[in-house]
Structure 1
Amino acid sequence: MTSKSLITAIGTYVPAKRLTNDDLEKMVDTRDEWIVQRTGMRERRISGEAEFTSDLCIKAVENLMKTYDKKVDDVDMIIVATSTADYSFPSTACKVQEAFQIKSTGAFDLSAACSGFVYALTMANGLISSGLNKKILVIGAETMSRVIDYTDRTTCILFGDGAGAVLVEYSKETPGFNASIMGTDGSGGQYLYLPGLTGGNRFLVQNGREVYKWATRTVSEGIERLLAQAGMGTDDIDWFVPHSANLRIIESICARSGISMEKTLYSVEYMGNTSSASIPLALDIGIKEKKVKHGDTVLLYGFGGGLTHAGAVVKWGVPDLDA
């Protein structure tokens, strides 16, 4: 299918509260130096008691509208990638629809953990390119702090909260999606999961060692497949934006795939692992640092619980802020 869609705007939001490594030293047996050495993380953002995933989504969309002078009342689909929805139903996407009083739109949540944002982007491209939709809000948002055990030093140092939203619009003249892949290894689900109706507590469980081994191998192989599909090499990529799970995982993936860390964007240092929100947060950082420009070729790659992974090569269609 020929792509007929383009990412035209982006907005983000993170809560005001910061959880620093020094704060964590007072909560569990850990040290700032150890956390930085193992993960590259220094801070994460934590939602307030009355601040839920839908609230983060709404503020990210408001930021998108204000920054790029966009309206969303004519959006005809809302896709929210999240593992920490306010409710099982109504969906978080329905809460977004309510907030902006969008009169005629579909709305649903997508569950693919840390791969969710790229999954949702790929779906949006398919819906638009097939002619079913014209303008889609894609949001990756999480309140991971609500599912983390803050007495477990192996997980509480990793995760933070945040949201990122993009607008994907019909564009016959400037197709924005060059290639995409998705993959799953359900047998690895035991290494990273969030209990639900199967029982147990509601805290996230992770075997970091196993996830690290799977991610570094799978993502580097996926990048090779993705570039082959796009007919490109690493030199054709302006920016690489992987899921910000852990800076050491990102460094290993770059070493294996031959992508320079100098053209790799991440949000992990001051926001932690925000799951489905980490890629749009990293993109927004790249924009604010005057790195990501209109027309750049960007390789996005999400990976995480499921175990799932998804990659996309896109032409960046968002206007430069100083244009």
Structure 2
Amino acid sequence: MSIKITGVGSYIPERVEKNSDFHEHEFLYEDGSNFSQSNAVIIEKFKAITGIVERRYIHSELNNSDIAYLAAINAIEDAKIDPEELDYLIVAHNYGDVLDKDVQSDTVPSLASRVKHKLRIKNPKCVAYDILFGCPGWIEAVIQANAFIKSGLAKKCLVIGSETLSRVVDKHDRDSMIYSDGAGATVIEASDEPGGILAHESATYSFEEANFIFFGKSYNRDNDDPRRYIKMHGRKIYEFALSHVPAAMKSCLEQSGKNIKDLKKILIHQANEKMDEAIVKRFYKLMGAEAPEGVMPMSINKLGNSSVATVPTLLDLILKGKMKDQELVKGDVIMLASVGAGMNINAIVYQV
């Protein structure tokens, strides 16, 4: 028996926010002081480092659970299953439902329960729950679904990664330009076909690293709004990722029994183009090889960093032929990898 992804789906918001839309923002340092550089210079440097030209935001009438549902519908239709057959419905996110212009994250009931309700699933044995694991949440939820199926507790699982980071960014923080909204979903099933999930690796580094990504006040000291926003220590995260993610990827590949030459694609969390390039380059160096051109498809330039949604969205786009010069065929070996708040890292080696 193998455990395979039998359906993929995503929701990419219609609203496009270009870098030029940030030219009128008042970017501030953490202490509230002004940048000496113009916004044009700040944005150009941002683009050179992250690769982001534009990102997607949801419209005001939508919420996180809504787009999770829309991605789920696409994955269920792609898998051609009856949703009543699902044993588990897992939603990876970090900030719950945050209404437009609201100050509070809403996680009761869970997003998974909300999605199950929207799907009109009657079966009470379809267990719905959320997972909070930072940006690697969707991959970790796939690992959990894999364990449920392996143990005999499940036959079919729906795993969703959905986030609306536009609702939790401080417009005075230049890092706000990184974040975006989106949702990706997959149906995971037991299969008689070869391949599927071959190996996985996960880790949490929290002794010194737990607060590299956190919730904090606006950089605008004159702002009396009680709202708190996503914040990060970018340099510390970059150094952490380069130190730990390549080693986890190496361990995962070795567990799979596959050779580095077998690896067709690496679908890595779209966090920062330069960081992702450095991670993959170091991974190949650890394996005594050089990264081949095109091994790391990128969507961040157009879609930004949608946290848990980046990897499943990327997988959906490739499998459905929506990314130029990128394709996967049956038998291809790929790696899924991510790093994020916690600090958590993980990887999966998967054969299509």
d(CA) in 2 for partners of 1:125, 1:209 = 34
Where does 1:1-323 land on structure 2 (aligned, <5 Å)? 4-29=2-27, 30-31=39-40, 32-86=43-97, 87-104=106-123, 105-153=126-174, 155-186=175-206, 187-194=208-215, 201-258=227-284, 259-287=291-319, 288=321, 289=323, 291-316=327-352
Post-superposition shift, 1:68?
4.9
- Going from structure 1 to structure 2, the CA distance change for 1:18 and 1:282 (only over 3 Å counts) comes to same
5+ residue gaps, structure 1: 317-323
Cα offsets for 1:85-117 (capped at 9, x unmatched): 122221110011101111221000000011101
**Residue 34 of structure 1: how far off its partner (Å):** 1.8
Percent of pairs identical after alignment? Answer: 30
Distance 2:54 2:108 in 1: 32
Which residue identity does 2:183 align to in structure 1? A
**Residue 264 of structure 1: how far off its partner (Å):** 0.9
Distance 2:293 2:233 in 1: 26
Helix, strand or coil at the partner of 2:68 = helix
Equivalent residues of 2:6, 2:78 under 8 A apart: no
Cα 1:261–1:81 shift into 2, 3 Å? farther
Deviating more after overlay: 258-267 vs 139-148: 258-267
Q: How far has the Cα of 1:195 moved from its partner?
A: 5.8
- With structure 2 as the length reference, what TM-score do the two structures score? 0.84
Give the structure-1-normalised TM-score. Answer: 0.91
Q: Which residue of 2 aligns with 1:321?
A: none
**Aligned positions, number:** 310
Aligned partner letter, 2:351: K
Amino acid of the structure 2 residue aligned with 1:270: K
- Post-superposition Cα deviations, 1:294-321, rounded to whole Å, max 9, x if no partner, equal 33211000111000001010122xxxxx
Equivalent residues of 2:215, 2:228 under 8 A apart: yes
Q: Distance in 2 between matches of 1:14 and 1:28?
A: 28
Shift in Å at residue 121 of structure 1? 0.5
Q: Which amino acid aligns with 2:161?
A: G
Does the CA-based 8 Å contact 1:20-1:42 persist in structure 2? yes
SS in 2 for 1:26: coil
Identify the range of structure 1 (81-90 vs 127-136) with the bigger mean alpha-carbon deviation: 81-90
CA distance in 1, matches of 2:78, 2:193: 24
Q: SS at the partner of 1:108? A: strand
Select between 12-21 and 60-69 the one with higher mean Cα deviation: 60-69
The whole-number CA distance in structure 1 between the counterparts of 2:75 and 2:211 is: 37
SS of the equivalent of 2:239 reads helix
The 8 Å contact of residues 79 and 187 in structure 2, kept in 1 or not, is answered as no
Give, in angstroms, the shift of residue 173 of structure 1: 4.4
Q: Separation in 1 of the partners of 2:51 and 2:82?
A: 37
Distance (whole Å) between structure 1 residues aligned to residue 215 and residue 263 of structure 2? 34
Report the structure number with the largest CA radius of gyration.
Answer: 2
RMSD of equivalent CA atoms: 1.8
Report the secondary structure of 1:73's partner residue: helix
Segment of structure 1 superposing worse, 14-23 or 290-299: 290-299
Q: CA deviation at 1:73?
A: 2.5
